[in-house]
Structure 1
Amino acid sequence: MSGKQRVWFAVYPPAEERRVRARLPQFEALTLEANHGWIVVDLTDLLPNWLSAHEYRDAIFAEPEYFSANSELEDLAVERVRQACAGEEANAASVVAVTGLATLFDFMRVSSLIERVEDSVSGRLLILFPGEYAGNVYRFMDARDGFNYMAVPITSAESFITP
């Protein structure tokens, strides 16, 4: 199976981010109950940690309109996901769940992240994706131009975020 076939997108409205995160333990419990491994890659702290360690952080905060992360943040995100996929716990029966993408909105493209890590995945890669899906087109945070990707969509219409 190719990397593209091992990627799942759990698509939900951006306003539901907190509710989805609160339900992560349920995702984990059900995954473990089905005899699959569960590994979470949380990218929430990537931007603040990168900014706080940046040599020009004071200048960035003084004039944020000139700030550009270029590909540095994406490179860090790719490295985190690849490390999780290569870890001891990761195998063909594991699910690697990526959370915290909303914090990186406007700093990197999800499509690029997926393309760069998809071949590192031996089990399944679950992308918790705040946005929308229609006709194989995913739109991140309901704002970016959509990208066509062949991942398996899991949409909020399928009730994974309702009580």
Structure 2
Amino acid sequence: MTRIEDLAESFGRHIATSWQRTVAGAQRVVIVVYDKELERTLRARKLAFETAAREAGHEWRELDLADAFAQWMAADEYKDEYFMSPEDIQLKLEAEFHVYVADLVRSTLCRADVTENTVVALLGTGSLFGLARISEVLRIIEGDIEGRLVVFFPGHFERNNYRLLDARDGWNYLAVPITTHNE
């Protein structure tokens, strides 16, 4: 069995357990942590996670953030100026991009067909590296999570600390980690 299949199996066991309905939004987040080198493998085998959720009796919705920056940038009226002088975009990124990403996630979480029995899967989080912090996005949207939010996270988890793409700065979060090492 591959590492991704092991993760899908661990995820399936976790998602099949009875869900407490009174937990805070931050505790409704499940972070599936995998080696960054396995991103393409995970995408090729993401159906295993969906199947596990559906077999446990849950609905499945998916959002891919891989092109979030491109969408945000394309919609900006000053995009041409930013391409001519990229250093000028840093303040705008810090002030606005994480809110834009949170709004994208919220738009899926708040759909009429997303209920307290729905798993919303968030892919493409590695594409946010250097642009927005996942921890900030999760803090903004945690109150909108009715069922479970599954964040596919290319990085590392150690001592209750998550590090995207194994970067040095990590964050401690209340989410349930699913790892290949059962840390």
Query: Which residue of 107, 112, 123 maps to 2:136?
Result: 112
Provide the rounded CA distance (Å) in 2 between the counterparts of 1:144 and 1:45: 24
Q: Does the 8 A contact of 2:128 with 2:134 survive in 1?
A: no
Runs of 4+ in 1 over 6 A off after TM superposition: none
**By how many angstroms is 1:83 displaced?**
1.7
How many residues are aligned here? 158
Query: Which residue of 150, 156, 159 maps to 2:174?
Result: 150
CA-based RMSD of the aligned residues comes to 1.4
After superposition, residues 69-108 of structure 1 pair within 5 angstroms as 69-108=93-132
In structure 2, stretches of 5+ residues that fail to align are 1-22
Provide the rounded CA distance (Å) in 2 between the counterparts of 1:58 and 1:73: 17
Provide the rounded CA distance (Å) in 2 between the counterparts of 1:144 and 1:115: 20
Provide the rounded CA distance (Å) in 2 between the counterparts of 1:23 and 1:104: 21
* Amino acid in the other structure paired with 1:64: P
Query: Which residue of 24, 46, 56 maps to 1:24?
Result: 46
SS at match of 1:156: coil
SS at match of 2:130: coil
* TM-score normalized by the length of structure 2: 0.81
* TM-score normalized by the length of structure 1: 0.90
Query: Which residue of 124, 141, 148 maps to 1:124?
Result: 148
Provide the rounded CA distance (Å) in 2 between the counterparts of 1:36 and 1:144: 35
In structure 1, stretches of 5+ residues that fail to align are 159-163
Q: Does the 8 A contact of 1:37 with 1:89 survive in 2?
A: no
* Amino acid in the other structure paired with 2:55: E
Q: Does the 8 A contact of 1:8 with 1:154 survive in 2?
A: yes
State whether structure 2 residue 44 is matched by structure 1 residue 49.
no
